[in-house]
Amino acid sequence: MGALLDQKYAKLFFLLDANGDGVIAEDDFALMAGRVTAAFGEERTAKGRTYAAEMTNYWRALRETADADGDGRIGKDEFRLAVSRVSDKFDTLIGPLYLAGFRLADRDDDGLVGRDGFVTVLVAIGVPAAEAEATFDRLTEDGEPLTEDRLMTAAAHYYRDEDPAHTASHLLFGAL
Ligand SMILES: [Ca+2]
Ligand SMILES: [Ca+2]
């Protein structure tokens, strides 16, 4: 694993440890899903339920890969290895969560996400608002909205790629 991927996985661990107790467990994923869906008032809608289900799937994939002693808790070192392996199956294990997040933020279902929707998701998962704004600017041009393809490409780069040409993707969740 290269240094950049290591930094990005460390950032993911920090964000996914939603209750800040230093380990990742199912309660973190429930907490984060609750925060994101509540930010849009979608806790009980189809979109919100899809997002929560994808959070659970992501957690299960990590747990099956990482939790060798079966105590339901994943520490930082376990997480780095697990997320690296789960990222090999980005399209089936991780991509659907990002797609569900995009669709939550796409308030009018036109396949585009504006600044407010994007920033709302990132703030709900723990990224400071100013960094979320900067991420939106890096991923888009001249006030254009974010497309689904652009987000999915950035997310795939975040989990799998260290190409210096993809800085905007590496900074998806703010400074490393
Ligand atoms: Ca935790
Ligand atoms: Ca839209």
> Span 3-170: which CATH code?
1.10.238.10
- Which pLDDT score, from 0 to 100, does residue 25 have? 95
Report pLDDT for 66. 84
How far, in Å, from the CA of 21 to the mean position of ligand 1? Answer: 5
What pLDDT is attached to residue 24?
A: 95
Q: pLDDT at position 143, please? A: 81
Residues with CB under 5 A from ligand 1 (ion): 17, 19, 21, 28
Which residues, 6+ apart, have CB-to-CB distance to 58 below 8 Å?
Answer: 29, 86, 93, 94, 97
> Which residue has tokens 């376990």?
78
What is the Å distance from ligand 2's center to 18 Cα?
A: 27
User: What pLDDT is recorded for position 84?
Assistant: 93
The rounded Å distance from CA 65 to ligand 2 centre is 35
Q: Across the strands, what pairs with 74?
A: 24
- All residue ranges of the chain with pLDDT < 50 are none
pLDDT on residue 80: 92
Give the pLDDT confidence score for residue 71 in this predicted structure: 84
pLDDT of residue 153: 98
Domain ranges of the chain: 3-170
15-21: long-range contacts at Cβ-Cβ below 8 A with a sequence spacing of 24 or more?
15/125, 15/126, 15/127, 15/173, 16/79, 18/125, 18/126
